[in-house]
Amino acid sequence: MKRHIPNLITLMNVFCGCVAVVFAVLNQLELAAMFLFLGIIFDFFDGLAARVMDVKSDLGLQLDSLADVITSGLVPGIVMFQLLNMSELGGWNAGSRIPRVENLDISALPFLGFLITMASAYRLARFNLDEDQQTSFIGLPTPANALLIISLPLILLYHNNDFLNGIILNQWFLLATTILSCYLLNSKIELFALKFNNWSFKDNALRYIFIIVSLVLLITMRFLAVPLIILFYILSSILIPDTKR
């Protein structure tokens, strides 16, 4: 029975991803974000449970990636689709607390958002075949990328700043973000993993610093902090060689 516990946690990730897809399709991006967050939490704890219980398996590895395709691949693709569609047809209705569009006409442009889903699937397939990504990642992990994309509508919802709204709902900004997302997912950039082999500050200094800085940014800047945290994650991995282990 013990060996099935991590897989059950992974299946909860699948469930949360499916619910997030439904809300994202309905353009209820706040609720989609909530279930995406829950899915990512389950994604973290399934691996932790497998390591603690020493029940890691090839089945669990494949199941984990299949779950991530939904939660961290399909959901951000739909979110970007909705944002691109809003940038073309709609506006921003702060009073209703949700994005809206003015009509149901859809051009070809919003479908480019699914490049993120395609790049995520490709990244996850490569990850399953790569035995070198045990203590670090090559390219941005799909959960981190999903958080980056889902932060955009949350910034619209919770910050409601005309300047930020104008940037986020600009087609060129969204297209550039989509391309950058696809590149980061499959880049050769080596990024440290938030996996602790022990609790020593000396061995995990950057991980502790990253967590502390991230918490401070989230408390002070809320969802606007998410892109800054991702940027800090990438830059710190590049600039500090000791993290590549």
Condensed to tens digits (0 to 9), the pLDDT of residues 202-240 reads 777 888 899 999 999 999 999 999 999 999 999 999 887
The answer to whether residue 171 sits within a structural domain is yes
Q: What is residue 198's predicted lDDT score, i.e. its pLDDT? A: 65
Mean pLDDT of 148-176: 94
Tell me, what DSSP letter sits at residue 221?
Answer: H
Determine, yes or no, domain membership for 81. yes
Model confidence over 25-61: pLDDT tens digits?
999 999 999 999 999 999 988 877 777 777 777 787 8
Q: Kindly indicate the confidence band of residue 132, based on its pLDDT and cuts at 50, 70 and 90.
A: low
Nearest residue to 40 (alpha-carbon basis) of 62, 9, 63, 61: 9
Q: In terms of pLDDT, which residue wins out, 243 or 152?
A: 152
- Sorting pLDDT into bands at 50, 70 and 90, what band is 80? very high
Tell me if 241 is assigned to some domain: no
Instruction: Tell whether 60 is covered by a domain.
Output: yes
Number of domains, the chain: 1
Residue 169 reports pLDDT greater than 60: yes
**198 domain residue, yes or no:** no
Contact yes or no for 84/109 (Cβ under 8 A): yes
Residue 114 forms part of a structural domain: yes
Q: Which pLDDT does position 92 carry in this prediction?
A: 53
Given a cut of 50, whether residue 69 has pLDDT beyond it is yes
Average pLDDT score, the chain:
87
Q: Which of 79, 183, 31, 46 is nearest to 122 (CA)?
A: 183
> Does 226 reside within a domain?
no
DSSP characters for 56-120?
--HHHHHHHHHHHIIIIIIHHHHHHHHHHHHHHH-B--GGGTS-B-S-S---SGGGGGGHHHHHH
- Domain of residue 187: give its range: 2-191
Residue 209 lies in a domain: no
- Domain CATH code at residue 67: 1.20.120
In this prediction the pTM is 0.88
